[in-house]
């Protein structure tokens, strides 16, 4: 994020770069997409520089910026962190639409509840190593009702 630019200026820079990389795509169409994305998460980007933004406003700026070019792969780190409940819901809906569009979503999270709801495939990392991998159904053992229960069993910690 460029602290000295407004959200719209940051999106314009991204649109300019993408338009040069994809000659069939205009900056104007990318600017329209940025505005639609911002609207979908109720973000009326202020005319002030990002340095003055709250954590949630910075996150919304980054989300729009990341999605302007409709990427084939989207990497997310702690999507819900810093967003209010309304923005969380709207952003989750936006990410679901990106998934439906065919984008691959790679999300890093400590939020097991969120992973359980949204992940098709889960990798459990513990102490820098891969401890388990699979679908929710594959990770759960008999009697376990949640990914949290499976997680503690997998890492060998009694909850």
pLDDT at residue number 147: 95
- Determine the length of the chain: 159
pLDDT at residue number 144: 95
Q: Is 134 helix (H, G, I), strand (E, B) or coil?
A: strand
Q: pTM for this one?
A: 0.87
The residue among 54, 49, 74, 53 whose CA lies nearest residue 64 is 74
| Residues 147-158 pLDDT 10s | 999 999 999 998
On the question of pLDDT at 67 being above 80, the answer is: yes
Partners of 107 in beta bridges: 76
Question: φ and ψ at 108, to 5 degrees?
Answer: -100, 130
Tell me 56's DSSP state.
H
Averaged confidence pLDDT in the chain: 94
pLDDT at residue number 1: 77
Q: Which residue blocks in the chain are alpha helix, DSSP H?
A: 7-21, 27-40, 55-67, 85-101, 112-118, 136-139, 147-155
The residue among 124, 129, 128 whose CA lies nearest residue 149 is 124
From CA 14, how far away is CA 75, in angstroms rounded? 17
Rounded to an integer, what is the distance from CA 63 to the centroid of its chain?
7
The residue among 122, 90, 129 whose CA lies nearest residue 106 is 122
On the question of pLDDT at 98 being above 90, the answer is: yes
| Residues 2-55 pLDDT 10s | 889 999 999 999 999 999 999 889 999 999 999 999 999 999 999 999 999 999
84, two tokens? 């209010």
Contacts of 120 (CB under 8 A, 6+ apart): 135
pLDDT at residue number 93: 96
Query: What pLDDT band is residue 159 in, cutting at 50, 70 and 90?
Result: confident
């Amino acid at each position: 994020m460029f602290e000295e630019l407004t959200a719209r200026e940051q999106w314009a820079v991204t649109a300019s770069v993408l338009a040069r990389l994809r000659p069939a795509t205009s900056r104007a169409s990318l600017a329209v997409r940025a505005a639609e994305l911002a609207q979908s998460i109720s973000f009326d980007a202020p005319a002030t520089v990002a340095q003055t933004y709250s954590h949630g406003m910075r996150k919304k700026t980054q989300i729009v910026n990341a999605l302007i070019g409709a990427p084939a792969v989207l990497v997310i780190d702690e999507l819900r962190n810093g967003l209010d409940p309304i923005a969380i819901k709207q952003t989750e809906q936006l990410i679901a639409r990106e998934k439906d569009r065919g984008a691959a979503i790679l999300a890093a999270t400590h939020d097991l509840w969120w992973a359980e709801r949204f992940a098709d495939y889960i990798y459990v990392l513990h102490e820098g190593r891969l401890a388990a991998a699979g679908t929710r159904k594959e990770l759960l053992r008999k009697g376990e009702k949640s990914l949290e229960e499976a997680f503690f069993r997998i890492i060998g910690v009694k909850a």
